[in-house]
Structure formats: C-alpha cells, structure tokens
Copies of this chain bind each other. A is one copy, B any other.
Amino acid sequence: MNYFSSNFKLGILGGGQLGKMLLNDTRKFDIYTCVLDASTEAPCKIASNEFHIGDLMDFDAVYNFGKQVDVLTIEIENVNVDALEALEKEGIKVYPSSKTLRTIQNKATQKLFYVDHNLPTAAFSRFAYTSQIQDTIDNGGLSLPFVWKAAQFGYDGTGVKIVKTIQDLEGLPNVECIAENLVPFKNELAVIVIRNASGETKTFPVVEMEFHPEANQVEYVICPARIDKKIAKKATEIALKTSQAFNHVGLLAVEMFLTQDNNILINEVAPRPHNSGHQTIEASYTSQFEQHLRAILNLPLGRTDSKVSGVMVNLVGAEGYSGNVIYKNIENIMGMEGVTPHIYGKKQTRPFRKMGHVTIVNEDVNEARRIAEAVKLTIKVISE
C-alpha cells in the first residue's frame, strides 16, 4: 500500500492532545488523516484533512467512520470495540486490535491477562460491585489497606482510590472493580515498546515518573530514569514480554512499579502514544508519535535512543480556576534553558485538567530536572 499517496486514508479515533501531536507527524509525511471526535472544539479539528463529529462509544459512528479509512488507530482507549471487530473482519487494519483493546479497557480483564501470561503484577481481587468489598473484608478475604480501581472508564487517576479504612469506601461508585494490594514502591517506571506489523520491535529508554511526596501525583517524567542499569534492563525485558503477549502493533506504554525490594510489577498499559513519552519529541531521535505512525503503517522504525536528556512536566489547570484559560508566566519559562511548552489548545481550564505539557532538555538529566522544578514553580494555568 502506498501511504504517501492521496488514495490512502489514516483514521484516528479521538481528537484530543495525543491526536493533535500525532497530526504533526502525519502532516510531516503528508499522510491523509481523518479524525473522529464528539467535540467540535477538539484540538484535532484543525490540521486533520477530515474532521468528523461522532460519539466514540457508538457502534455506528465508529463503524461508518472506520469504513472510509485504510488504517485505523486510536488516541484514547474508550471507543466502541464491537465496531473495531466488525471493521477488522472487513479488512480494515485496526491498531491496536479490538482484542487488545477489549483486554485493556477492563482493568480486571487486564490484570487477569498478566496473570495468564506469567507477567508480574500486584495481587488483586475482582468484584462485580464495590458493595461486595465490605463483605469480603468482614469475611477476612481482603485486608486493608488496598487500592480500589474501577474496572472501566478510568482516566489519569480517576477511578482509583487508596482505601486505608472502611470509611474510604464511602462514596465510591458501585461498579465492577478490583482491590489491589497496596505495594510500597520506590519509583514508578515506564517503557514504551514499538512494534510494526512486520514484527520489528524497539523500546524507548526507561523513564522515571517522579511523584509529588504529598499529592501522590506524577510531577515529572524523567528520561533516562535515574536507576541502576540492571533494573532498567529488567523493566525493558518485562515491557517487551508484555508487548509480545499482546502481539501488539503500534506503541505500547508499559507502566511499572519498582518495589522497595527491587521487584518490578506491571501497573497498567496504554496501547497508544502516552504521557510518559512526550519528552521524546525533543529528546529522542524519533518521537513516540512518529514511531506510532511508522509502526501502524508498517514502515521501518526509527532510532529510539536519546539525543539529550529530557524531563516533562504536565500543565494542569490550577485549583480554584475554571473558565477561559490563561497561561500565566509562560513568557518567563520560555526564557529558561531548553524549555518548550506544548499548549493543547483547549479553551476552558478546570482544576487538574491536562492543558499542556512542558519539556526541558539538557545534556545533563539533573540540570533538566532542576530547570523543570523552576518551570513548575513559575507557570500557572488559571482562568481570565
């Protein structure tokens, strides 16, 4: 198939920031790209060749959109998988596959997948409803503390709660869920695996997700991770094994915990460009977005090593501000060394909404980390 011709059409389900960054590379290669999203204000509305409005969870919307393209990919997991399966049967190339997405969309199924494939993950129990947890605790079948996770539709930390006391269960939605052992970890690591349809496979360097000590939120993604080489090798091997188990095509971001006793446990995976790979735009020989494109179009993969070190800081809406967004002090951070802001183009901010990210590149990872902290203390995402 000639991807570089106007007869070829790539479809993307979802028109958010990941799609927007992917469009930079479809534009670079002049690949004709169609986007489906429910919102007329989606960041992908401009820069795509065709922008279609439709509900990503609706069978007909996804099916009818997918019928028009040659290769279909996603930038968000919450899409109608039955439609993807129907499209696959009709010969449309769908990456990630409906099978992979079905496994990943449900956290209980995803955890069982790891167990079935002998991939390390924290022990867990599965519940049809949150209300069943109390009984299990009473019966001695589950002990506090644990991590409650909704099985479906979680996104960026929503649908996750650390349950330390019975009272913490109050107010949780009564949905299918898992209760996972609370593993004390030193570090959260991530490895992005890239695999094209011919099976060529590469990995980006291990990154470290540094947590805010109090807020328990990822503050910085740091590449390379400041960890022992043996641990990096182990994390990479587990990520590769996970990609093989899924027989995955495209990007697979594998998030892992490094436990206090240096074990590695898989937390979760994302079969698409991922927050833990944003620094690749500036730091790597090939960005994760370009790699995803190369993989799903079955082109040779690019180099995955880094030109320089990179640290990424998410720009999220400040607490107490909702409405038309203002990036206060953005001029100041642009005067800092090696700093590039990425503004996603969402018009409205609200507390903790992902509005953009900032990459800091430097020859020295510790210097990049130091500048990242200055960035974080300077820029504020507020409203008019």
Q: Mark A33-73, 1 if CB is under 8 A from B, else 0.
A: 00000000000001111000000000000000000000000
Q: Compute how far the CA of A344 lies from the CA of B286 in the bound complex, rounded to whole angstroms.
A: 19
5 contacts between A and B (CB under 8 A): A6-B347, A27-B47, A299-B334, A302-B334, A307-B361
A334 vs B330: C-alpha distance in the bound complex, in angstroms?
Answer: 36
Query: Which of A181-189, A225-233, A335-343 lines the interface with chain B?
Result: A335-343
Give A307 to B303 CA distance when docked, in angstroms.
Answer: 15
Q: In the complex, what distance in Å separates the CA atom of A334 from the CA atom of B335?
A: 35
**Which of chain B's residues have a CB closer than 8 A to the CB of A331?**
299-300
A344 partner residues in chain B, CB cutoff 8 A: 30
Q: Are A29 and B343 in contact (CB under 8 A)?
A: yes
A208 within 8 A of B: no
Query: Across the interface, do B307 and A341 meet the contact criterion of CB distance under 8 Å?
Result: no
**Residues A30 and B345 in contact, CB atoms below 8 Å apart:** yes
* Contact pick for A326, options B2, B307, B340, B347, CB 8 Å: B2
- The count of identical subunits is 2
Residues of B close to A49: CB separation below 8 A: 46
Tell me if A369 counts as interface (CB < 8 A to partner B).
no
Known contacts A6-B347, A47-B46, A327-B4; A334/B28 CB under 8 A: no
Residues of B within 8 A of A29 (CB): 341, 343
Q: Which of B6, B338, B343 contacts A285 (CB 8 A)?
A: B338
A46 to chain B, nearest CB (A): 6
Q: How far is the CA of A20 from the CA of B294 in the complex (A)?
A: 21
Known: A46-B49, A299-B331, A308-B307. Is A30-B343 also a contact (CB below 8 A)? yes
Q: Which residues of B contact A361 (CB under 8 A)?
A: 285, 307
CA A338 to CA B344, docked complex, whole Å: 28
Give Cα distance in the complex from A297 to B299, angstroms: 38
Q: Which residues of B contact A5 (CB under 8 A)?
A: 326
Distance A76 CA – B339 CA, assembled complex (angstroms) = 29
Query: Cβ of A290 < 8 Å from any Cβ of B?
Result: yes
The 3 lowest CB-CB distance pairs between A and B, nearest first, are A300-B335, A30-B343, A307-B307
Apart from A299-B331, A302-B334, what are 16 other A-B pairs with CB-CB below 8 Å?
A: A4-B327, A4-B343, A5-B326, A28-B340, A28-B343, A30-B343, A30-B344, A30-B356, A46-B47, A299-B334, A300-B331, A302-B338, A302-B339, A303-B337, A307-B307, A307-B308
Q: At the interface, yes or no: A134 with Cβ under 8 Å from chain B? A: no
Q: Specify the chain B residue showing the minimal Cβ separation from A308.
A: B307
Q: Which residues of B lie under 8 Å from residue A334 when comparing CB positions?
A: 294, 299-300, 302
CB distance from A224 to the nearest CB of B (A): 15
